[in-house]
């Protein structure tokens, strides 16, 4: 079997000149790659004591739900504004060219519940920082954050200081 980073397709000069885009779809499209990604991510949090997995739309769903299923934990979706039907809380966060708003159901996490956040990629860390704020607003405790890939050059980990951050694949650049 190949190593997990061999399943990731790298595309030069996308979306702009000088950027190497790390394409997660090539992992998803290969049964062995997907299986390996889920296993490695799950293994990176196996020693944590937690109650709930939270994942952002959409790739956080792809990786978070199978891990939640395997560990018999509930899964809480974080979505773009206007996509959740019940009472929500929201956070605005910075994008490369503007801002975005994410939401979570207000009653999705109970006070005192221990939470692991799962997503495909950490770049600048802005989305994850906003998710942490949502979780803590309702009284949850973030005990771990797990990514398949990390773009170390964008220094997203710095926004998550004080939290345990795991990434299966680390790329030095951005």
Residues annotated as catalytic are 59, 96
Torsion of CA 55, 38, 25, 166, to 10 degrees: 60
Query: Which CA distances in Å does 32 have to 26, 46, 60, 67?
Result: 11, 21, 19, 16
The CA distance from 70 to 43, in Å, is: 11
- Side-chain-side CA neighbours of 37 within 13 Å: the count stands at 30
- 10 Å CB burial of residue 47 (0-12, 13-18, 19+) is exposed
Six token digits for residue 9: 């397709």
């Amino acid at each position: 079997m190949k190593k997990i980073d061999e399943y990731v397709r790298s595309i030069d000069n996308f979306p702009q000149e000088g950027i190497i885009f790390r394409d997660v779809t090539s992992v998803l499209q290969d049964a062995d790659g997907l299986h390996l990604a889920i296993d490695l991510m799950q293994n990176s949090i196996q020693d944590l004591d937690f109650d709930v997995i939270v994942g952002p739309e959409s790739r956080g769903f792809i990786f978070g739900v199978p891990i939640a299923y395997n560990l018999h934990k509930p899964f809480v979706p974080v979505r773009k504004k206007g996509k959740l039907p019940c009472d929500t809380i929201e956070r605005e966060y910075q994008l490369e060219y503007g801002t975005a708003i994410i939401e979570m159901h207000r009653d999705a996490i109970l006070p005192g519940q221990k939470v692991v956040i799962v997503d495909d990629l950490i770049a600048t860390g802005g989305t994850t920082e906003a998710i942490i704020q949502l979780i803590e607003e309702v009284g949850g405790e973030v005990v771990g954050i797990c990514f398949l890939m990390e773009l170390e050059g964008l220094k997203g980990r710095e926004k998550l200081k004080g939290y345990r951050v795991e990434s299966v694949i680390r790329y030095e650049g951005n």
